[in-house]
Amino acid sequence: MITAPVRIELRPLAIPASIDSPDAADFIEMVRVRNRIYAEISGHDDHRIAADELLPIYQPDELERRLVWTVSVDGEMVGRVGVDLPLEGDSKVAFWLIELVRDVWGRGVGSTAYELVERTARENGRTVLQSWAEHPDAPGPRLAAPTGFGTIPDDHAARFYVRHGYTLEQIERNSAFDLRGPFEEVKRLLSGATAASEGYRVVQWFAPTPAEFFAGYAWMKSRMVTDAPAASLEFDEETWDAARVARHDAMYTDAGRPLLVTAAQHIATGELCAFNELVIGKDRTEATHQEDTLVLKDHRGHKLGTLVKCAGLLTWRDFAPESPRVITYNAEENRPMLDINEAIGFVPIAYEGAWKKVLDD
């Protein structure tokens, strides 16, 4: 069978100031296509987001340059290309994605888009390219992560990365917790964690962050790129201060997305030393997403991870009683956090591969 050539167009996406702006149509269509792609890959709508809720993360940021193009085939938008360029220090890293509807797979569209990704990285002096993709489970050959934890199928996405010179560096587990089920185990685990963490107390807030917690929250957020397992992936050190916390919070509050932060505070010093984040869209019947979770290294061994996760879930059940589940991601080698999740009742539903390529100078 001869496949007819396709007309591929990659066009920079103009980011509107608001979703009601006259120039917002392309952004809205991009989000619709994005949501379709995520549903095609995962088989569910838990990754769906409304256009007005996604827009704030595309607004200008002095610490990151976010570039995005729409992909059209024969005049129809079928996907998007994104390249994120951290601007802290002399970063050599670029993070990218190519997302296409299944109908155009295998027609050279992805490879054409990838040429743009690599050219953009080189033009901006970036030599370390990193990307993530979900790899739905399937029979057949598998690829193992060099960490020794986890495998993924050697599928369409994996073959794409390998063909373009990438290596699989890490596997992340996507897990879900049923918010409609019983909470007896969550309460039991919270009781045990409370007993084991004498000298600490739980503090909670919804964004925006209260001024009294700016410094502690900023320090914990800065440690996410240094203290969480990253295999051979490369991340730049991040500097967080009150202004950056405010910008971070605004990405949620400006979109009307409630963000709950549950933290553990060391009573003697007032230091915040562990935290967990839960967020949902304006539609409280959607899935909840667990964002960052971290226990600072100097405070590990007191069940603080269990403490903040369980306390957060109990508060969240009352706040968003119609949300059906919580979605979260963890590196497969992060056994301490996975042990906590599994004890609480999180179950694996999908796996992502983290891919890396180092360009020649």
CA distance 226 to 346: 25
* Same domain (yes/no): 251, 129: no
Say what the pTM is: 0.94
* Same domain (yes/no): 306, 232: yes
* Same domain (yes/no): 327, 195: yes
* Same domain (yes/no): 136, 182: no
* Same domain (yes/no): 200, 253: yes
Residue 189 lies in a domain: yes
**What's the burial of 162, exposed, middle or buried (CB within 10 Å: 0-12/13-18/19+)?**
middle
CATH code of the domain covering residue 95: 3.40.630.30
Least Cα distance to 95 among 74, 67, 75, 70 occurs for 67
Report pLDDT for 135. 97
* Same domain (yes/no): 113, 154: yes
Report pLDDT for 1. 36
Report pLDDT for 228. 84
Q: Dihedral angle at the C-alpha atoms of 249, 252, 258, 261, nearest 10 degrees?
A: -30
Residue 76 lies in a domain: yes
pLDDT digit string, tens, across residues 53-101: 999 999 999 999 999 999 999 999 999 999 999 998 899 999 999 999 9
Structurally, how many domains does the chain consist of?
2
Residue 1 lies in a domain: no
Beta strands 93-100 and 128-134: pairing type? Answer: parallel
* Same domain (yes/no): 146, 208: no
Name the residue range of residue 193's domain: 176-351
Which helix (H) or strand (E) segment holds residue 83: the answer is strand 76-86
* Same domain (yes/no): 180, 145: no
Residue 58 lies in a domain: yes
DSSP at 239: -
Least Cα distance to 291 among 312, 277, 311, 271 occurs for 277
pLDDT digit string, tens, across residues 168-224: 999 999 999 999 999 999 999 999 999 999 999 999 999 999 999 999 999 999 999
Report pLDDT for 2. 44
User: What mean pLDDT comes out for the span 283-294?
Assistant: 97
First to last CA, the chain: 41
